[in-house]
Amino acid sequence: MVESKPQPLFGGCIGCVFPVDMVDVSTLRQVPDHQEVRVRVEGEPLRQTMIVDLLEMVSEPDMDKALTHHLKDLMLSLEPEQGQELSRQLVPIPKQVCEARLGKGSRVMSCTHRLKTTRGRKGTTDESEAEIVYLHLALLRVPRATSDIVVSVTTPVAKVNDTVPEGQDLFRAAVGTFAILDWGLFGEGV
């Protein structure tokens, strides 16, 4: 099993725990300034990806509806043929811990989806070419910075009938330890 440890994101302004073997995609290609992308290019599960997006807070005050808004945006880029939501819940992080890491009034909600996609396999109609991907998505609502931080972990699964939500441990560790270390990331006076 690969070691996970606290690692910096956004130049050290944010920190969370994730596997040390995940490669910073910005060393391979250009990544938008509001995004951090890590991918596993060796070992298992191969091509597992973690993306952290710093986004403007959507106007929807209801966490469930705000999560759905961000999920719809992500689904447009994943282009799944079909999907099934496996779970949706407020993440049980004690209020004082959540506010210490993310600021006053912060909340976290997550969902897990099992998706079937042929993305990257254009023109194929062969069912055996479809790929099953587990998507774990968290919305970290940060009122102090008027931001929604979206953390997603996608994990391709080898077997179509696999029922274990792959990537769950990485996702829980990253979200459960996520902390804003330097509020200057969000601008002056935040």
| Torsion angle of the four alpha carbons 120, 17, 4, 134, in this order, in degrees rounded to the nearest 10 | -30
Distance CA 6, CA 111 (A): 23
| Six-digit token string for 187 | 């601008």
pLDDT in tens, 82-131: 777 777 777 778 889 999 999 999 999 999 888 887 655 555 555 566 67
Architecture of the domain made up of 21-183: 3-Layer(aba) Sandwich (3.40)
Query: The pTM is what?
Result: 0.88
Is the distance from CB of 103 to CB of 180 less than 8 angstroms?
yes
pLDDT in tens, 132-181: 888 899 999 999 999 999 999 998 886 555 555 668 888 999 999 999 99
Distance CA 150, CA 175 (A): 10
Find where tokens 């270390």 sit: 181
Query: Which DSSP string do the residues of 75-99 spell out, in sequence order?
Result: HHHH--SEEEEEEEEE----HHHHH
Distance CA 22, CA 47 (A): 9
Q: Where are the domains of the chain?
A: 21-183
